Amino acid sequence: MLIACGSNNNKEKVDKRKTVGTVERLHTSLDKLINPTAKVEVIAEGFTWSEGPLWVDEHQFLLFSDVTNNKVYKWSERKGLEEYLTLAGYTGKIERGGEMGSNGLLLDLNGNLVLCQQGNRQIAKMDAPLVLPKSSYISLANRFNGKKFNSPNDIIQRSNGDLFFTDPPYGLNDQEIEKKELSVNGVYKLDTLGTLTLLIDTLSRPNGLALSPNEDKLIVSNSDGQKPMLYAYDIDNNDSLKAAGIVFNFQKYGGAPDGFKIDDQGNIFTSGPGGIWIFNDEYVPIGKIKLSHAVSNCCLADDGKTLYITAGRQVLRLEMR
């Protein structure tokens, strides 16, 4: 059963909204980001695997994927939880299982909803206004050199309109794994002219990605238990990437990073073993949001004052300051 926890129309429900986890301060600089008394609230629950949180500031609502159930949900303080899209990541007629839904979501510079569709194995744009959603999509990219993508996972947009996305194999079912067309799990750039470029072909499980505030670095998470790392790459004037070292190695902590976000000051909020890890712009860990269940991703809202977290069957909110 899906549960939306509280709304402004029912103060008693808001007051009783349950909280989970704790905030651990590793450095005093965390106090500039998170009030020491801040609590992690459960705003909705009952999903199979929530992912791809996207805050839409203009309309004051959160969108997120339920990957296994092939849906996108909408949550707002005013209305609570609503179903937003069905057939969000797979629109085929042949019944299939696995992680077939959408994963990463993006509101592009023109106000369109862009989805990483794992089941359809493509980057697609919803063919409808944001406030009148329907399960109709326009493919932006579905092949590289004539070969089908694996299952696009996360996506970002640069200020000039270029899209960057990752393509690990997590959305492939057993039959598709056997027929996997690409030999790499890549990181790609799709520019505004429609040119597709393979930027990184050396990561085993590229997953989340983000640009530094001045867009001169690309950070990519590798969700492989053997190499569970955040990698940094310098972007040159021709958009070639040069390895710039490891931001953090999670190996000894018993887990791997997934989705993450970078704020305007360069602080990194990343999923990882035990919850959300917070690093400053020098890649030093300054705090953790400790949670007892797996976390997939997060997004920032309210000028970086609020953090929304997708955590398995739950969606959480931390009003940081």
DSSP string, 107-172: E-TTS-EEEEETTTTEEEEESS-TTS--S-EEEEE-EETTEE-S----EEE-TTS-EEEE--STT-
- Residue 177: per-residue pLDDT: 83
Tell me: the pLDDT tens digits for 266-304? Answer: 999 999 999 999 999 999 999 999 999 999 999 999 999
pTM given for the model: 0.95
- Residue 178: per-residue pLDDT: 82
For 36, 188, 230, 302, the CA distances from 209, given in Å and listed in that order, are 28, 11, 9, 21
Q: Where are the domains of the chain?
A: 3-319
- Residue 315: per-residue pLDDT: 98
Paired tokens of 18? 């349950």
- Residue 313: per-residue pLDDT: 97
DSSP string, 210-271: EE-TTSSEEEEEEEETTEEEEEEEEE-TTS-EEEEEEEEE-GGGT-----EEE-TTS-EEEE
> Per DSSP, what are the bridge partners of residue 242?
234
Cβ neighbours for 165, distance < 8 A, ≥ 6 positions apart: 104, 116, 123, 152, 153, 154, 155, 156, 187, 188, 190, 209
- Residue 8: per-residue pLDDT: 45
CA distance 260 to 292: 18
How many alpha carbons lie under 13 Å from residue 292 in its C-beta half-sphere? 3
CA distance 144 to 252: 35
Architecture of domain 3-319: 6 Propeller (2.120)
Kindly report the number of other CB atoms within 10 A of residue 27's CB atom. Answer: 12
Query: Which residue stretches of the chain have pLDDT < 50?
Result: 7-13
